[in-house]
Structure 1
């Protein structure tokens, strides 16, 4: 793993929320045993001009990856940026019952950021691998700038 991908993660702890006292023992155990994993990948040399310069292609790829990984999608949306208010590019998200998969791209810079976060039994690496393989197939010069895996909901 490159130096650029080694990031410090800081965890902040706060007081226990009052609503926790009203939960049953089973509910608290489920929350305490919660776990999660987030995989973040940054790419360069991603020329979306080759596939129509729009985020719909990426959203479809993300939805395919989620379905192939056996994760339940609850909503999906893509927002295309035409350069009027924001630089040209897109933001896409697939909401999961376990969390989300998102992608953000700046066309003019050829950069793309993708993350997959699951907090159930599903492995976000599977989703990322499916997306990555299609990106490599579609963009010959694609380069990974960083790839990080972060364990979430740790006690």
Structure 2
């Protein structure tokens, strides 16, 4: 957070800024200000986190001899490469007895989580990365995406969304 003197300085520099707060954030490796309040009549929102979700089709995990453990290892590699601290990791394989075949994997972070969910029979995979600190979840997603594209010849991105979390 910006200290009170910095906030007052910003308010003096922007006299039309009313009843707001100022904070630093890092977006794509660039340190930026996030502001809430009104500036020249425009409402602005501050957030304390970001979540990136990406959905894939044509993920032939079984045909490639890969399973949830492979995905969990990739997620852990991406987290470590992005410089984010892992707290815990777990993968659960589903054999079709109680749930459709596939897996759910999660890496808990001190800033939140990275998760992946796959249905083997449908060839679909959903991944999300949520950080509520200084780390950019896009870096984690980009590392995972690069390896998935290298590993699955016909993989297709169906959607990719980014949202601010903990809005104030």
TM-score w.r.t. structure 1 length?
0.77
8 Å CA contact 1:59, 1:78 repeated in 2: yes
Residue 93 of structure 1 corresponds to which residue in structure 2? 106
**1:140 is paired with a residue of what secondary structure?**
coil
Residue 114 of structure 1 corresponds to which residue in structure 2? 127
1:154 corresponds to 2:167: yes
Q: What is the aligned residue count? A: 125
Residue 139 of structure 2 corresponds to which residue in structure 1? 126
1:78 corresponds to 2:59: no
Question: Which structure 1 residue ranges, 4+ long, deviate > 3 Å from structure 2?
Answer: none
1:62 corresponds to 2:83: no
- The 2-side partners of 1:71 and 1:95 are apart by 10
Residue 48 of structure 1 corresponds to which residue in structure 2? 61
- The 2-side partners of 1:113 and 1:34 are apart by 24
- The 2-side partners of 1:94 and 1:76 are apart by 4
8 Å CA contact 1:53, 1:107 repeated in 2: no
- The 2-side partners of 1:132 and 1:34 are apart by 25
Unaligned ranges ≥5, structure 1: 1-28
1:140 corresponds to 2:157: no
Q: CA RMSD in A?
A: 1.6
Deviation at 1:154, TM superposition (A): 1.3
Q: Which has the higher strand share?
A: 2
TM-score w.r.t. structure 2 length?
0.71
Q: Which has the higher helix share?
A: 1
Residue 39 of structure 2 corresponds to which residue in structure 1? none
Structure label with greater radius of gyration: 2
Deviation at 1:52, TM superposition (A): 2.1
